[in-house]
Structure 1
Amino acid sequence: MFGSNILEVAIGIIFIYLLLSLICTALNEGIASLFDKRGKNLLEGIKNLLNDPKFTGLAQQVYNHGLIGGISQYASNPGKRTRLPSYMSPTSFSLALLDILAARGALASKYGDLLTNAERADDAHEEALEAAAGAPNDPALAQAVNQASAVREQARTALETVAAEAKAAHDQAAQAADAAPGNASLAELAVKARNTMDGINAALKMLDARRAAIASAKNPKEVKLLLAASTTLKEALAFARDFAAGNQNPLGNIQEGLKRLPEGHTKETLLVLVDKTRREVTAIEHQAEAFRENLEGWFISSMERVGGWYKRWTQRILLWLAAFLVIASNADTVMLVKRISNDNVLRASLVAAAADVVKAQSGVQYAAPSREGTEPAPASKEKAPEPVTEGTATPAATPYAGDRRSTPDLQLVLDTAANLELPIGWSLNPGDPGYFRSPKLSLEYAGWAFYKLFGLLISVLAVSLGAPFWFDLLSKVVNLRSAGTPPGETSKSAGKPAARR
């Protein structure tokens, strides 16, 4: 039964579905790469995760952080626009975000009010600019822009004033310490003055980094603005790290920074993770690491949904590609079944090609049952390692792990099918099963058109299921056939007739 013609026809149909699915997958990957779909989808996911729809806040800072910028293509080439990373590991994300939150927390303890006021003034200024752009002839909106700009500059001036006072205090303390080299108290005062000056400088750099991010978000194709935002953020984080180095309660420091984030789901979620970390870990020195692990878990669970966005987009593209390819190649399932059923040579060649693909990809020693009565070669009992295809990764490392079932290489299948006369394609020969009939009003044409459209629709839906699905099914059906008894052979389990005496 397992070696029947029906099973061989099924193998032939599945092999053709697999070939077409692989071509669609390759085209889809080309489209995704051309439009940087993975990178853009990941960016939208991070912006949503960090509540930064305009890409001027946390999400922008994460992307400009060295841990993430280092995995972006052309990041080291100032002459080219940086290509968005397609993948982001949970460790890189959590470390970058933790560094940024720790920096903001260190500044929040002393200069949080000044920095928050300045950032809110920047936001109000941008909102006024957007409103004025929508109604350029409205004098009231133009006046609102001028007022917002004045408030914006006042907020920055307040920070600069504190920075100037801190610098003057530091210079005075440094001079006093230099005048009395052996005075420990004066040296200590100079160090404190230096820390204070570094702290306010870090706050100013953080504000400058945000303004650079706003400018970059308005002109995303301007490479210089993007580099300015990244460079300024790195300078701000360098100042803030030194300023926060002596903090004895890192998680408490992070919590202070979180309280000054804009209201929204990100702030709420991160504060919940802080409380969760405190319940799980009581030792203060281990809480920051535990919080980082909780950030990783939050990232992984969120990226699973972001991966779903990409998968749904892929399914739509695959459906359109499948429709185009199936119609162009006339891969009509009804016609294929008839042709493979009636052509023994074609059926045998498709089965052999399918077996070769399964054998080459899985590493299983498979031999098709011989029709001359010889025993098939036994399958290897050792399970070959699952091949790793390009673009796959563990779910912990990427939100786009996708379908991790084994998929054969397109070139392998194309090479295997190169010598086959595949029963697809349109023909102008009236005697050919793939003959294209010109439209006309007749019952005969209506019947042909109905079955043709029905067969093409089945093929489109089948091919859009994807290559991993069809290769899995092909492997099972081929192995099932190899375990059965070919026609004309006695069952291997049946006993031999006793010899007559």
Structure 2
Amino acid sequence: MFGSIIIDVAVGVAFVFLLLSVVASHINDLVARFMDWRSKDLDKHIRQMLSDPNLANKVLNHPLVAGLASKPGRTPSYIPSNTFALTVFDALVPASGNQTVVENVRAQVSGLPDSRMKEVVLPMLVKAEGNLEQARKDFAGWYDESMERLSGAFKRRMMLLSLIVAALITLLFGVDAIDLANNLYKEPGVRAALAGAAQTASKDTTTFNEAVKQIQGGGLAIGWSTLPTDAAGWLKKIAGLLMTTIAVSLGAPFWFDLLRNISSLRGGGSAQATSAEPKK
């Protein structure tokens, strides 16, 4: 009995975190799109990689690259490595008779300002020994490695944004994880209703609207209607708000997967035990 109560509390708390995480995810996406971070970061990164403004402009304005942009005149948010290698080589030495001479590319790279690209690409061209496809393949591999670092930087920025948005949502709705769990533990009706709605929503995302209505009218301990009256109460309140902030920042996919796992324990635990008994 006690175990089922704890599972229902966990399901209810996870479901509230999931709903808040969905809101946070939408806000994060809107901010990232409005700020155009991916496109701006890629533009800046490519210019740093190539270390030559003229070469960078030729590459970014190349039809193969420009055609990937969402709007004319903007840098794409993503450029495949093979496409990037092809456009860089074509910008250095335009193809003649469907063939670009590696030695000519090496001569053009040698004339570029001293940079990381020059240090990396020149040995690649020497190693290729005149094989154009091999040179492009090696260059594309270097580009992929560089994009992994850029992707890591973007993820760190989004993690910071997620934390900020999660904090704002937590404060706006006044969701204290500790009070929420205590409320669900003490109120069987609220706990059962929310756990049932959560279990249904974990199987069918179209029931989210009904689940939100259940939360709004379910008597949950959320909001700012009741405030602590002493220092200990405020410390507990702050701790609960911090827990909610961290939880929401983990993202909707995390809580959706966790909710499905917990819900399976709630819905299938007893059935599994019953079906296993005759086998003994």
Q: Is the pair's TM-score, using the shorter chain for normalization, greater than 0.5? A: yes
Give how far 1:459 is off.
Answer: 0.7
> 2:212 is matched with which residue?
418
Give how far 1:2 is off.
Answer: 10
Matched, 1:90 2:81: yes
Aligned AA (1:14): A
Aligned AA (1:270): V
Of 50, 59, 64, the match for 1:62: 59
Bigger Rg over Cα: 1
Give how far 1:318 is off.
Answer: 1.1
Map Cα deviations across residues 398-442 of structure 1 (whole Å, 9 max, x no partner).
xxxxxxxxxxxxxx47424233135254254xxxxxx135xxxxx
> 1:448 is matched with which residue?
233
Give how far 1:314 is off.
Answer: 0.7
> 2:197 is matched with which residue?
353
Of 73, 76, 93, the match for 1:102: 93
> 2:33 is matched with which residue?
33
Aligned AA (2:14): I
Matched, 1:493 2:276: yes
Residues 30-429 of structure 1 aligned to structure 2 (within 5 Å): 30-52=30-52, 56-75=53-72, 82-103=73-94, 241=95, 244-245=96-97, 250-278=101-129, 284=130, 287-360=131-204, 412=206, 414-422=208-216, 423=220, 425-428=222-225
State the distance in 1 between where 2:146 and 2:222 align: 45
Matched, 1:461 2:246: yes
Map Cα deviations across residues 455-498 of structure 1 (whole Å, 9 max, x no partner).
00111111112222222222222233333117xx97332249xx
> 1:179 is matched with which residue?
none
Aligned AA (2:21): S
Larger RCO, structures 1/2 (Cα 8 Å, 6+ apart): 2
**Distance verdict in 2 for CA 1:296–1:325, change over 3 Å:** same
In the alignment, is the contact (CA less than 8 A) between 2:200 and 2:207 conserved in 1? no
In the alignment, is the contact (CA less than 8 A) between 2:109 and 2:122 conserved in 1? yes
State the distance in 1 between where 2:268 and 2:144 align: 42
Mean alpha-carbon deviation: is it higher for 323-332 or for 444-453? 444-453
**Distance verdict in 2 for CA 1:45–1:354, change over 3 Å:** farther
> 1:215 is matched with which residue?
none
**SS of the counterpart of 1:21?**
helix
**Distance verdict in 2 for CA 1:14–1:94, change over 3 Å:** same
Aligned AA (1:102): V
In the alignment, is the contact (CA less than 8 A) between 1:251 and 1:274 conserved in 2? yes
Give how far 1:331 is off.
Answer: 0.8
**SS of the counterpart of 1:475?**
helix
In the alignment, is the contact (CA less than 8 A) between 1:330 and 1:424 conserved in 2? no
State the distance in 2 between where 1:5 and 1:461 align: 24
State the distance in 2 between where 1:490 and 1:470 align: 26
Give how far 1:250 is off.
Answer: 1.8
Give how far 1:65 is off.
Answer: 0.8
The gaps in structure 1 that reach 5 residues or longer are 76-81, 104-240, 279-283, 362-411, 429-434, 438-443, 497-501
TM-score scaled by structure 2?
Answer: 0.88
Aligned AA (1:493): A
Give how far 1:246 is off.
Answer: 8.5
Aligned AA (1:357): A
Aligned AA (1:454): A
Indicate the RMSD between aligned Cα atoms, in angstroms. Answer: 2.6
Identical positions, percent: 32
**SS of the counterpart of 2:270?**
coil
In the alignment, is the contact (CA less than 8 A) between 2:201 and 2:208 conserved in 1? no
Aligned AA (1:475): R
Give how far 1:26 is off.
Answer: 0.7
Give how far 1:3 is off.
Answer: 6.2
State the distance in 1 between where 2:192 and 2:127 align: 63
State the distance in 2 between where 1:292 and 1:39 align: 24
In the alignment, is the contact (CA less than 8 A) between 2:174 and 2:224 conserved in 1? no
Map Cα deviations across residues 197-228 of structure 1 (whole Å, 9 max, x no partner).
xxxxxxxxxxxxxxxxxxxxxxxxxxxxxxxx
**SS of the counterpart of 1:86?**
coil
The gaps in structure 2 that reach 5 residues or longer are none
**SS of the counterpart of 1:491?**
helix
Give how far 1:304 is off.
Answer: 0.9
**SS of the counterpart of 2:93?**
helix
State the distance in 2 between where 1:64 and 1:100 align: 10
> 2:263 is matched with which residue?
478
Equivalent residues, number: 277
Give how far 1:313 is off.
Answer: 0.9
**Distance verdict in 2 for CA 1:48–1:85, change over 3 Å:** same
